[in-house]
A and B are shown apart, each in its own frame.
Chain A
Amino acid sequence: MSGDTRHGVGVSPGTAVGPVVQVAPPVRPPDDEPAPADAEAATAQIQAALATVAGDLDAQAAANAHAAPILKATAMIARDKGLAKAAAKHVGAGLGPAHAIEAAVAEYAAQFEALGGYFAERVTDLKDVGDRAIAEVLGVPAPGVPSLSGPSVVVAHDLAPAQTAALDRAHVVAIVTEAGGRTSHTAILAAQMGIPAVVQLHGATSLEPGTTVAVDGEAGEVTLDPDMALLEAQRERRERRAAALAGVSGPGATRDGHAVALLANIGGVDDAVAAGAQDVEGVGLFRTEFLYLSATALPSVEEQADVYRKVLEPFGSRRVVVRTLDAGADKPLAFANLGEEENPALGRRGLRLCQAKPELIDSQLAALALAARDTGADVRVMAPMVATAEEAAWFASRVAAAGLPKSGVMIEVPAAALRSRHVLAEVDFGSLGTNDLAQYTMAADRMEGELSDLLDPWQPAVLDVVAAACAGGSETGRPVGVCGESAGDPFLALVLAGLGVSSLSMAPKKVAAVRFALSLHSLEECRALADTARAARSAADAREAVRAAASPELTAVL
């Protein structure tokens, strides 16, 4: 008999079994930390803690070639004389060792934040050193992911992007978190890695390390000490799933042959090379920010074109949809910073920034035109954060001036979806960014984990906005695709196809399941599923109703 089965929310399908490895949360210095009785001893304790942290980071760097440069640089911060000196000064002023470390880190962090750009990003590394040293002086486990020696189920309160940099991907078989949501970093990471993940599992962080757990990322179940029968059933399901997914290949289509292009989301040259080798019809979202965010000056047209050629080449004559620079106050550019904003998600980001600094978009489009000419690739560019037909027309004119054949717009602002008839008339195609569309429709910050239920792409209001965008597409004869994470949910993909979406772009690992789901349903059935979803009262009801109405062949293997 299997032990205890707990229920959370499945955010990445599949099943896996392994021992629990807990990711320790950072600890804050205790409020009642006493002033040091012996300042010299306290200073020595801080120095010893920093040395231990540096040693641990060096050891991790030696074991993990991928993250070694980051880890080595972080070890160097831990060895910094200045940090130890600053902490010693706070000990002299009467702070206990943990508070002294925290205060020293805060001083340097403030200096880096004032410098902005790349320097501000290094604050994460500095704070990581501080958190580790604080844990060391308090005698509690180091925060972050411990080094993994074999297949492991990583369990955390929630995974921050910084924590996953050092994650040994070869050994992580599943991720389970106590917090988080469908659009959280954990869900996105697990999907990229193609491993199961369960979030919002109550009591996850109190699971005993080393306990064997079986994770079902579709049902959202985690079973402690699973018995042979459960493990056997999961193994059979994995095999059935692999066989079913391997049974369909090539361009995406419904059972009755209605084409729905299956595309990859990529964010750089490595992604392009990996995705180019996959059974995908091209790229539906190429995020170009990586080229600009770490640069201190706008890269030259030739420098940009070099990178774009490398991204386009793996796709031959397949389409590559390029999203032009989506920067703003939350993703500031060192060379085009319009200053701090109270509310960056609603500020001068995306196309709005490019309208303020047209040289950015003109140089990017010139580089893309060069790369398209040299590679013969089917390049289609689209602008982020378009709200009005005027903005769409402005972008289309820039694209035409650069000599690129096709322009499009991201539909992520509800205004653009509701007025898609006019917005799409200005361009050749639209692409629904469902993550931001959900954020703006539901007025819920994507970065706020506590609001993840509101950001559920199954929210009927979000589906209504998608339907409005598709209606405008059909009226103007412009194709509308989806490039948010929702495109990779096999059940939601059916709904989107039924709403009239003509392409779905997702993490390449998700393509096979979506292709399989489409192949089991006719376009008419997809339309009926779309009606079912939109008739539901809540996101959970919509998801359940569609699952219940979808082909049993699909539910049997996912």
Chain B
Amino acid sequence: MPQRTVTIASSVGLHARPAALFVEAAQGTGLDVEIGRAGEEAVDATSILGVMALGAKHGEEVILTADGDGADAALESLVALLSRDLDAEEG
């Protein structure tokens, strides 16, 4: 299954606005996407509660996995998203 490792760039970690943006993007892929830490059980990346409960902090490494058609492209776009400081962007 395609998999990527990425460091959380958002200065506040993966909660609030960054978490909401990430979950919306994950839902937008239409695929089963999971996010988790190395060696721990991953959570459903399309669940805001799951992603928030993960509690990923700024600078922490997370592993994304996806399955299905276009999984590689979907993961690339999600990696790009997590590599930006989403909280610093106005919107």
Quick check: A82 and B49 within 8 Å, CB to CB?
A: yes
CB < 8 Å neighbour of A122 from B11, B15, B23? B15
Residues on the B chain within 8 Å of A401, using CB: none
| Contact present for B46 and A296 (CB under 8 Å) | no
Query: Contact string, B1-20, partner A, CB cutoff 8 A, digits 1/0?
Result: 00000000001110111001
* Contacting pair B49 A296 (CB below 8 A): no
Q: Please tell me if A115 contacts chain B, counting CB pairs below 8 Å.
A: yes
With A82-B44, A119-B55 given, is the CB distance from A295 to B50 under 8 Å? Answer: no
Known contacts A76-B48, A296-B58; A112/B16 CB under 8 A: no
Considering the chains assembled together, what is the distance between the CA atoms of A115 and B19 in angstroms?
15
**Contact A115:B12 (CB < 8 A) given known A76-B20, A81-B44:** no
Which residues of chain B (16-37) have a CB below 8 Å from chain A?
A: 16-17, 20, 23-24
Question: Are the C-beta atoms of B16 and A296 separated by less than 8 Å?
Answer: no
Contact of A82 among B12, B13, B50 (CB under 8 A): B50
Q: Select B15's contact among A80, A111, A119, beta carbons within 8 Å.
A: A119
Q: How many residues on A have C-beta within 8 angstroms of the other chain's C-beta atoms? A: 21
CB–CB A295/B12 < 8 A = yes
User: Is there contact, CB below 8 Å, between A122 and B52?
Assistant: yes
**Within 8 Å of chain B (Cβ to Cβ): is A77?**
yes
Question: A83 an interface residue at 8 Å Cβ cutoff?
Answer: yes
Report chain B residues within 8 Å CB of A77.
48-49
The answer to the question of B73 belonging to the interface, with a C-beta cut-off of 8 Å to chain A, is: no
Interface of A, helix, strand, loop or mixed by DSSP: helix
Confirm or deny: A160 has a beta carbon within 8 angstroms of a beta carbon on chain B.
Answer: no
Contact status B58-A297, CB under 8 Å: yes
Contacts of A297 in B (CB 8 A): 11, 58
> Smallest CB-CB separation from A85: which chain B residue?
B47
Q: Give every chain A residue within 8 A of B11 (Cβ-Cβ).
A: 296-297
A80 touches B48 (CB 8 A): yes
Contacts of B13 in A (CB 8 A): 118, 296
Which of A72, A83, A118 is close to B12, meaning CB atoms less than 8 Å apart?
A: A118
How far apart are the CA atoms of A118 and B16 in the complex, in Å? 9
Residues of A near B55 (CB, < 8 A) are: 115, 119
On whether the beta carbons of A80 and B49 are closer than 8 Å, the reply is: yes
Cβ-defined contact, B48 with A112, below 8 A: no
Instruction: Determine whether A69 belongs to the interface, using a CB cutoff of 8 Å to chain B.
Output: yes
Chain B residue with the shortest CB-CB distance to A122? B52
| A78 nearest in chain B by CB position | B48
- Which residues from 68 to 122 on chain A have a C-beta closer than 8 Å to any C-beta of chain B? 69, 72-73, 76-77, 80-83, 108, 111-112, 115, 118-119, 122
B47 CB contacts on chain A under 8 angstroms: 80-82
When distances are taken between beta carbons in the complex, the residues of chain B under 8 Å from A83 are 49
Chain A residues, CB < 8 A from B44: 81-82
> Does B53 lie within 8 Å of A296, measured CB to CB?
no
Docked complex Cα distance between A416 and B52 (Å): 43
Whether B50 contacts A73 by the Cβ 8 Å rule is no
Chain B residues whose CB sits within 8 angstroms of the CB of A112 once the complex forms: 52-53
Separation of A76 and B25 alpha carbons in the complex (Å): 13
Contact of B84 with A by CB under 8 A:
no
A108 to B48, CA, bound (A): 11
Identify the 3 closest CB pairs spanning chains A and B, nearest first: A82-B47, A115-B55, A111-B53
A-B contact pairs, 13 of them (CB 8 A): A73-B17, A73-B20, A81-B47, A82-B44, A83-B49, A111-B53, A112-B53, A119-B53, A119-B55, A295-B12, A296-B13, A296-B57, A296-B58
**Given A73-B16, A77-B49, A296-B57, 14 more contacts at CB 8 Å?**
A73-B48, A76-B24, A76-B48, A77-B48, A80-B48, A80-B50, A108-B53, A118-B12, A122-B52, A294-B12, A296-B11, A296-B12, A296-B13, A297-B11
